[in-house]
Amino acid sequence: MMKVEMGRMMQQFRAAVPVEKRLSKEAVTSIMLHGFFQFGASMSSVFLTLYLWRLTHSLWVSGMFNIVVFLLTPVGFALAGWFAKRKDRMIAYRIGIIGFVLFYLLVILSGEAVAKYYVLFAILNALASSFYWTAYLTLMYEVSTEQNRIRYVSLNMIVFTLAGLAGPALAGFIISRMDGLKGYMLVFAFAFVMFLMTTIGSLRIKTIESHHRAYYLRMMFLPFRKNRNWRRSLIAYYIYATLQGLMIFLPNLLLYQATPREDLVGYLGVLFSGLAVLTGYGFGKWGRLQFSKRYLAVAAIGYTAGASLLLWKQDIVSIVVYMVLYSSFNVIQGNILTNHYYRMISELPLKGALRIESIVMRELFVNLGRITAIGLLLASASNLSGHSLGFVLLAAALCQFVVILMVDEHRPEPEY
State the CB neighbour count (10 A cutoff) for residue 288: 12
Domain-embedded: residue 20: no
Helix (H) or strand (E) holding 389: helix 388-406
Burial (CB count <10 Å: 0-12, 13-18, 19+), residue 302: buried
What is the rounded distance in angstroms from the CA atom of residue 267 to the CA atom of residue 169?
Answer: 5
- Report CA torsion sign: 135, 139, 142, 144: negative
Give pLDDT, residue 15: 52
Domain that holds residue 329: 26-205+217-406
Sign of CA dihedral 354, 360, 362, 365: negative
Torsions phi, psi of 162, nearest 5?
-60, -40
Using the CB atoms, write b or e for 141-176: b if 16+ within 10 Å.
Answer: bbbbbeebbbbbbbbbbbbbbbbbbbbbbbbbebbe
Nearest of 200, 81, 67, 192 to residue 131 by alpha carbon: 81
Predicted pLDDT at 10: 43
Residue 385's alpha-carbon distances to 134, 237, 250, 252, in angstroms, are 36, 29, 12, 14
Please check whether residue 156 lies inside any domain of the structure: yes
In a domain, 5, yes or no: no
Classify the phi-psi angles of 313: left when phi > 0, otherwise alpha if psi is within -120 to 50, otherwise beta: beta
Q: What is the pLDDT of residues 212-262, one digit of tens each?
A: 567 777 777 777 788 888 889 899 999 999 888 888 777 777 777 777 776
Residue 13 included in any domain: no
Judged by DSSP in three states, 382 sits in: coil
Cα–Cα distance for residue pair 37/62, rounded to 1 Å = 23
C-alpha atoms less than 13 angstroms from C-alpha of 81 in its C-beta half-sphere: 26
> Would you say residue 14 lies in a domain?
no
pTM: 0.70
Q: Distance between alpha carbon 261 and the CA centroid of its chain, in Å?
A: 25
CA angle 413, 138, 92 (to 5 degrees): 170
Distance CA 242, CA 376 (A): 10
Nearest-5° Cα angle at 357, 351 to 358: 70
**What pLDDT, in 10s, does the model give residues 370-389?**
888 888 888 876 666 666 77
Torsion sign across C-alpha atoms 237, 36, 352, 335? negative
In a domain, residue 6? The reply is no
The number of residues in the chain equals 416
- Tally of structural domains, the chain: 1
**Is residue 161 within 8 Å of residue 56, measured between CB atoms?**
no
The C-alpha angle 288, 291, 297, rounded to 5 degrees, equals 130
Alpha-carbon distance values, 260 to 52, 91, 110 (Å):
15, 42, 25
Three-state DSSP at 17 gives coil
In this prediction, residue 85 carries a pLDDT of 78
DSSP 259: S
Residues of the chain where predicted confidence (pLDDT) is lower than 70: 1-21, 44-47, 179-181, 207-213, 262-263, 266, 284, 350-352, 381-387, 409-416
CATH number assigned to the domain comprising residue 122? 1.20.1250.20
Instruction: State residue 266's pLDDT score.
Output: 67
Question: Which of 76, 119, 78 has its CA nearest to residue 99?
Answer: 76
